Amino acid sequence: MTANAVTIAGSDSSGGAGIQADLKTFGALGVYGASVLTALTAQNTQGVTAIHDVPADFIAAQIDAVFTDLDIGAVKIGMLSQVPAIRAVADGLTRHDAQNIVLDPVMVATSGDRLLAVEAIAALCLDLIPRALVVTPNLHEAAALTDLPLARGEQEMEAQARKILALGPRAVLIKGGHGDSADSVDLLVDAKQVIRLVAPRVKTRNTHGTGCTLSSAIAAGLAKGLDLVPAARAAKDYVTEAIKAADRLTVGHGHGPLSHFHQFWRQ
C-alpha cells in the first residue's frame, strides 16, 4: 500500500523550503506527497520579497479535495502567516479527523524575513498546537512561543519544550541547529521522556529549508508506519546527510538549499 502524506504550507519560489522542500523530502523517502498551499512567496536564497496569502476558503477547499480522495497517513504543517489560514487548517483537520500531525511553527525564514504575523501566534497556540502529535520549533521559535529568552543550553531547551508541551501536543522536538556547540542536539520531549538526537554540526551556509525538511521527514516516517521516536531519529539522520551534501549544489547566491536527493545524485 502506498504511503501518502500531505504538506500544508507556503510555496518557496526558489524551491529550497516550503512545500517544494516537503515534496522533495517525501519523494526521497518513498512517500507520495500531496499539498495544500497556504501562501505564495516571492523568495530566493537571499530573501523574501513578497507574500501572497491564499484565501481561507480556498485553503479549506484544498484540504477537502485531498482528504476526501487520498488515504493520508501523516500531515506536515508549515507556513501559516495569518489567523484566517490557521483557523481554516484547524477546522479542516478536525473535519477529516487527521492523524499524525507534525507542526513546524514557521515564523522567520533563514534570511531573517518574518513569515508569521505577530497576532497569529496566539491562534497557532490555541487552534493548532493542541492538535499536533509533535511540534518542531527551532530555538528562536521556541523562545517566541514561550515568551522566554533564547535557550542557552539543553536544560533551558527542555524547560521551553515542556512549556510548549503544556499547550496540548503529545510531544515537542526542539531543534538546536541554531546553537554554536560542536554537535547539533535536538531534544524530543514528551510526558514520559527526553530523547537526545545528536549529530555533528556541519559547517555550511547552505541551510535554507532545514526546518521544513526535518518536519516533513518526520511526517514521511509516520506515514510509513513508524512510531514517533524512530521517525524522528530517521529524520535527523536524513537531514544531517542532506546538509553534508548541500555544498555539492550550486544554487543561488545566498543561503542555498539542502541536497534532498543526495542518496540518488552522484557527482
Active site residue 207: yes
Residue 67's SS3 state is helix
Cα 153 to Cα 181: distance, rounded to the nearest angstrom: 9
Per-residue pLDDT for 113 more than 60? Answer: no
- Look at the block and give the residue holding cell 506536515: 76
Cα 26 off chain centre by? 12
Tell me, yes or no, whether 254 lies in a domain: no
Cell of residue 46, nine digits: 537571499
Of 18, 92, 125, 175, the active-site residue reads: 175
Tell me, yes or no, whether 164 lies in a domain: yes
φ, ψ for residue 173, nearest 5 deg: -110, 105
Active site residue 212: yes
Of 41, 207, 213, 240, the active-site residue reads: 207
- Single-letter code of the amino acid located at 238: Y
Tell me, yes or no, whether 261 lies in a domain: no
> In which order are the strands placed within the sheet that holds 101-103?
47-53, 32-44, 4-12, 74-77, 101-103, 134-135, 171-174, 183-190, 194-200
The CATH number covering residue 88 comes to: 3.40.1190.20
Cα 172 to Cα 167: distance, rounded to the nearest angstrom: 10
pLDDT band at 91 (very low <50, low <70, confident <90, very high): very high
Do 71 and 224 touch, CB atoms closer than 8 A? no
Active site residue 92: no
Tell me, yes or no, whether 231 lies in a domain: yes
Give me the domain span that covers residue 176.
4-248
Active site residue 213: no
pLDDT digit string (tens) for 237-265?
999 999 999 899 999 899 999 989 998 98
Do 265 and 24 touch, CB atoms closer than 8 A? no
Tell me, yes or no, whether 35 lies in a domain: yes
State the DSSP string of 66-105: HHTTS---EEEE----SHHHHHHHHHHHHHTT--SEEE--
What pTM was computed for the model?
A: 0.95
CA-based nearest residue to 173, from 231, 115, 117, 87: 231
Tell me, yes or no, whether 263 lies in a domain: no
pLDDT band at 67 (very low <50, low <70, confident <90, very high): very high
Tell me, yes or no, whether 75 lies in a domain: yes
- Single-letter code of the amino acid located at 208: H
Tell me, yes or no, whether 53 lies in a domain: yes
Cα 128 to Cα 101: distance, rounded to the nearest angstrom: 10
Of 78, 176, 209, 221, the active-site residue reads: 209
Of 78, 211, 221, 256, the active-site residue reads: 211
pLDDT band at 195 (very low <50, low <70, confident <90, very high): very high
Do 247 and 56 touch, CB atoms closer than 8 A? no
Count up the domains in the chain and report the number. Answer: 1
Of 7, 210, 213, 240, the active-site residue reads: 210
pLDDT band at 1 (very low <50, low <70, confident <90, very high): confident
Active site residue 175: yes
